Amino acid sequence: MLKYILKRLALSILILLGVSLIIYVLIRCMPTDYVENKVLAITQQGADVAEDMVANMYASYGMEQIPDGAGFWESAAIMIRGYFNWLGSLCRLDFGTSFIDGEPVVNKIVNNMGVSFMVALIATIFEFLIAIPLGITAARHQYSVRDYIVTIFVMIGISLPAFFFGQILKDLFANKLGWFPPSGLINAGVEHATVLDWLGDYCLHLFIPILTVVILSIGARMRMTRTNMLEVLNSDYIRTARAKGLKEQKVIYKHAFRNTLIPLVTSLAGLLPSLFSGAIITEQVFDLPGIGNIAYDAMMKVDIPFIMGYNMFLALLSVIGVLLADLMYAVVDPRVKLQ
């Protein structure tokens, strides 16, 4: 087990190096950025910007500008030097400073991650609690009314875009019925006498966003559970278990469901980054101050340091998620030996 983990960690480092190179090259290929837009806005007002100041700002993030007329090898040398300067900062856990507000990227991610994490965590818990039992029920009663109802939920979850479905729920529950606030995280200017009042205000604001994420995410999970359960239920060992006279509940949840968990564990590889990446579209619809909303704003304003640091943060979480999923295989399937 230890040898396997060390081998995967070494492979993960190579993957992260490859991802960092891809991110750096893509950023260098962007037609514009925050600094360039800022300089353009200043010059349009009639002021001058020192070229040395702009060059130093780019160089501090490994984005040293390639001079006009530079040859291929000179351009390549500048890009390679810039990449390793940025990579060296990453190894020192220095993700740089945001162009927009001058705040360190690490602090910006940590300070705005709580809301996104809470929404994603609660939505994921309800997703598993709802999708897996419904998927098992649909598989056990194939082509029944239950199966068709689950299929409808699957189609809704897969087909409807987040911005459209979120606006429907927002218009219904907030604007027409007035049961929940339409946007934001807390009522501004309202003093809460107790912690319960403060917590209740948060819950009211987060109900519709969480409901949106849950309904749109359970469809794929239900379909996966139903498909895998149907495949397992048609296996020979399930027919043997039933022929021995075992109770149906024991056949389903002890023999069939455990093998159904194997594909579900594979999907868990993307669970960890999804908890911290934020639901960008949902946060935009409900104006939540989460990391997804911050990332969207950074992309629109081409905040190079934040974009690079945020994507490397998600890449690290993805690699860790894949490693944890591989380790979970040995837990749900005794036949898997990690060597």
3-state secondary structure the chain: CHHHHHHHHHHHHHHHHHHHHHHHHHHHCCCCCHHHHHHHHHHHCCCCCCHHHHHHHHHHCCCCCCCCCCCHHHHHHHHHHHHHHHHHHHHCCCCCECCCCCCEHHHHHHHCHHHHHHHHHHHHHHHHHHHHHHHHHHHHCCCCHHHHHHHHHHHHHHHCCHHHHHHHHHHHHHHHCCCCCCCCCCCCCCCCCCHHHHHHHHHHHHHHHHHHHHHHHHHHHHHHHHHHHHHHHCCHHHHHHHHCCCCHHHHHHHHHHHHHHHHHHHHHHHHHHHHHHCCHHHHHHHCCCCHHHHHHHHHHCCCHHHHHHHHHHHHHHHHHHHHHHHHHHHHHCCCCCCC
Q: Does 125 map to a domain?
A: yes
Domain termination residue (choose one: 89, 109, 129): 109
- Give yes or no: residues 102 and 117 share one domain: no
What residue numbers bound the domain in which 52 lies? 2-109
- Give yes or no: residues 81 and 154 share one domain: no
- Give yes or no: residues 96 and 117 share one domain: no
Count, residues in the chain? 339
Q: Does 318 map to a domain?
A: no
Estimate to the nearest angstrom the gap between the alpha carbon of 251 and the chain centroid. Answer: 35
- Give yes or no: residues 136 and 234 share one domain: yes
| pLDDT for res 334 | 57
Rg from Cα positions in the chain:
25
Estimate to the nearest angstrom the gap between the alpha carbon of 188 and the chain centroid. Answer: 29
- Give 159's Cβ-side CA count (13 Å radius): 6
Q: Does 201 map to a domain?
A: yes
| pLDDT for res 124 | 84
- Give yes or no: residues 244 and 138 share one domain: yes
- Give yes or no: residues 201 and 160 share one domain: yes
Q: Residue type for 195, please?
A: V
pTM of the model: 0.75
- Give yes or no: residues 270 and 206 share one domain: yes
Domain containing residue 277: CATH number: 1.10.3720.10
Q: Does 328 map to a domain?
A: no
- What are residue 180's phi and psi, to 5 degrees? -130, 155
State how many domains the chain has.
2
User: Can you give the pLDDT of all 339 residues of the chain as single tens digits?
Assistant: 677 777 778 888 888 888 888 888 887 777 766 667 767 766 776 666 677 777 776 666 656 666 666 677 777 787 787 788 778 888 888 777 787 777 888 888 888 888 888 888 888 888 888 888 888 888 877 788 878 888 887 787 778 888 888 888 888 888 888 888 887 777 766 666 677 777 777 788 888 888 888 888 887 788 888 888 888 777 777 778 778 777 777 777 777 777 777 766 777 777 777 777 767 788 888 888 888 888 888 888 777 888 888 888 888 888 888 777 777 766 665 555 555
- Give yes or no: residues 209 and 75 share one domain: no
